[in-house]
Structure 1
Amino acid sequence: MKPENSSPKIDYDVAIVGAGPVGLATALGLRQRGIENIIVLDQTRAFRKVGQGVDLLPNGLKAVKYIDNQAYENIKETGQKFNNPPQPNSETESKKNQPSPEWTTRNVNGEKIRSFVLKYDEWFDKYGEGRVSISWYNLQTQLRMLLPSDRLKINHRCVNVVAEPELKCVRADFISNQGVEANPYSHWENKQQDDQTSAVNSSPLPQSEIISIRAKLLIAADGINSTVRQVIYKDSSYSAYRKPEYSGIAAISSGGAIEIPETLSQEIQEQFLQNSRIVSIVNDQISKDSIINETTEMILFSRQPGQFGYLIHAALPLELLAEKSGKELINIALEELKKA
């Protein structure tokens, strides 16, 4: 039993809600500058290979280097491996004398509209820092591995935030050991797989527990569907911004590499990729005076011979996408490509 006059304890100097790249980078930066009594909390139950690719441009890499030099070196090394996957010896030799890889935008006839180089060194020479592509999961992992394990708690879903000015702190309430819920990153995954997982893991779990922590400062890094933002903007002049608004542009992806017949692979290479790993395709004829309409665009990529993936950007109404997954989304994308 607590003494009658005792006050609640302030647990941390800083609490960070969200263990994505932003939350983890913030934690590392604070620790590098002597603020060690911190905690990062996230609702996920396990760190899994979810998410898409992330491009870190010069300013992004400079920011990472300023935050934590070891994180910078690790991310740069991982990103360069991602950009240059192992190739058979014969292909490695044949590529030595080829020009630097580019990301090119072409029209449906394969004609080049514009391009920019992808090579790290060329970006470094021009901007004083390079450019790397890295998967979201690998970026998160490289940052997470530099943070002591006791500074990170998973299975903590933030449900409420309360200012306690009399204690000069903020209280955040979390649910832990909650029942099986949709994966917080499920918008990157196949909904059918999630449904199957939920069915398998539907056995009763320990009763949910409310855990409260107090910190002098609370940082919200819990993503586009931020609970913290929804709580603090409620009943305020910013209430219209509590939840994200659909931009009107959807992205539908292949979900991974797809193997296709050799003849089709060769045709795609010759007409569109042309020895590059990635190309954007738009329905536009080359004209000096034309404005390129890229409302509908296909990004096609290939990291290994014969294997391709795609990402289709299209202006689609939200109600058309609701509750759709897998083949349904692909069929929607195909219809949009036909219109383009």
Structure 2
Amino acid sequence: MSTLTLNPNLSLPIFHDIPTSSNTSKKESLLRRIKGSRIFIPDLYQVLPGWKHDMNEGYPSMRDEIDNWLLSWVRDETERRRIIRADFASLAACLYPKAQPEEYRAMALYHGWIFIWDDVIDDGTLDDPKLAQYHRETCDTISWCMGPKPFVGPCPPTNGIMSSFIEIAKTIVPNCSQYARERIHNELQAYINTATWLQSKRQGEILSMKEHIEQRNQSSGIFPSIALLEYIHGLDLPPSVINHEAMQVIINKTCLIIHLLNDIVSFPKELADNQVDNLIPLLVHHENLSTQEAILRACELVRQAHLAFVDAERRLPVNGNIRTFVQGCKDLATGAVHWSYLSARYYGKNPIREGYKTFMQL
């Protein structure tokens, strides 16, 4: 098997490989321990006190247009059904409630694009040479669109997925400052590198808690969404603001909050696919908790991250653009919660609920 080569200029997390045979028995034991449990997921709106959720008013009128654009370059029928079920217009409406119509549309298309791009990685059908080629074509296209001289020179060879990214980028790039474009470019390249690298390394290993958090930070795709807030809200924040100690806390805690919440809502679905690369099973395994205790512990980790965010916000300079950016970070977090309740992706169409508390048997 060939070695997968990635961009040497971007650093990647180091996760220790675990022998497959040993880890398989641990994984099977962990699955047996969790499956069959009766659990509830608490009201997740309550883990982010003081933060309000909303919905972009453009959603009803733009949903069909957004779905039709995504479906126009996807031929696989299974993938087309998944796109319709996912409803990226709804996702973007939750994440970016204050975006203007053009920015809202661009973000819905972007989230649909990254979902489809990631599916190609996740389905496991690419061997190492094809995975390396997919990675290279993606990075070349992103750099051509968002590098130092956007859209200058010959367009790199593209397939349907990358051609669609070019169309999205042609909406975003002209409306970004140089610094914002650089941040979006760098965060996207880092995400693409890490997601590709992780696919080449996956053996079903049970990661440590620290490794899992580091992996999620790198591979969740949240940092690019945070960088895109400057485009969405027409901001031009200099590096001195982005690199401010309190702003870095806010950015990192936003990422942590969202991927912790995603682990909480997605673990029943992942468990059904015998996946344990999720915070809840790892808490059960490493901290010897029941499944319900692990869920409540994960919610407490979200609350702690929320408190750190709020504390950092107090240390920021008072500035209208900074406030807009920080509110955008809050919207990403509350939007992720709101979408989890609106979408059938995690719990199906008729979940058993008492208010916003969700009950299920695993």
TM-score range, shorter chain: under 0.3
Considering fraction of residues, name the structure with more strand: 1
TM-score (structure 1 length as normaliser): 0.22
Higher relative contact order (Cα pairs below 8 Å, separated by 6+ residues): 2
Greater C-alpha radius of gyration: 1
TM-score (structure 2 length as normaliser): 0.21
Considering fraction of residues, name the structure with more helix: 2
